Structure 1
């Protein structure tokens, strides 16, 4: 597909892909404290950590305790949807401006003996590739932590390159 100078073809392709996947992006969540949801610096968008929340409800729990890997991956996917909502806002509503997903940083609320953080954060990584194809492949970290804000299961931050 050839991009027009405005990226209109890419915008249509991404919107079509979201519809094909049955995805409706949520509204970009507002910050819960004294920070901004994203910063655009040059061609990079730095998005603050998005906690696991779907349909306005927090996805709470601890991996290795009351949540399994599948539930954690679903929580990470919810974080990724919120990242995409923030990215759309940062791009003035035009996801076609995305050049590539650069990096995701994943934090998993988990017990000390839980070691499947990479599989949990795959919930977010897989969504980026499903939506953006090769441009969705990224560098990543997946870290286990003792607690996350509001008792949520997962928090993910992102770095994106735009045009």
Structure 2
């Protein structure tokens, strides 16, 4: 439907303005696919905060990491979600609306500020997509996450 090439993508130009170059989509760590589309909705599998194949942070927010470090991890996790979407869609300009995020925070006992951590992802989506980046969201505490990542996020987007 959209004949714009990746080089002409408005969304990718916006990412570059923000100093973000999307990596290759991360390969699945187990038996699943990175994205599943049904109709005009695309669901991503959970992503973590890897950059160049290595987690940028490890551990629990509230003991090993500050809220600000958790926000940085959430931002990198969202960059990886966008890389998965680009790989699936071919062009991020096809994203009509970010519908929902589900964010998990590897939380120290007693840590209850998960929404502030996942803001790192939500704020990036608004910076990139504007009004279309505003979404419903859940921010959930987890006592452990795979590979000791501090954050895991999955998303649902509506596409054209």
1:81 to 79, 82, 93: 79
- Which ranges in structure 1 are unaligned for 5 or more consecutive residues? none
TM-score normalised according to structure 2 size: 0.94
Q: Which residue is 2:100 aligned to?
A: 103
Take 2:99 and 2:145, find their aligned partners in 1: how far apart are those partners? 24
TM-score of the two chains, using structure 1 as the length reference: 0.92
Cα 1:22–1:143 shift into 2, 3 Å: same
- Over aligned residue pairs, what C-alpha RMSD do you find? 1.6
Matches for 1:49-68 after TM superposition, within 5 Å = 49-58=46-55, 59-68=57-66
Aligned positions of 1:1-163 closer than 5 A: 6=2, 8=4, 12-58=9-55, 59-91=57-89, 93-163=90-160
Kindly report structure 1 stretches of 4+ aligned residues shifted beyond 2 Å.
5-9
| Contact 1:87/1:95 (8 A) holds in 2 | yes
The change in CA–CA distance for 1:153 and 1:7 in structure 2 (over 3 A counts) is same
Separation (CA, whole Å) in 2 of partners of 1:140 and 1:161: 15
**Cα offset for 1:54?**
1.6
Separation (CA, whole Å) in 2 of partners of 1:132 and 1:112: 35
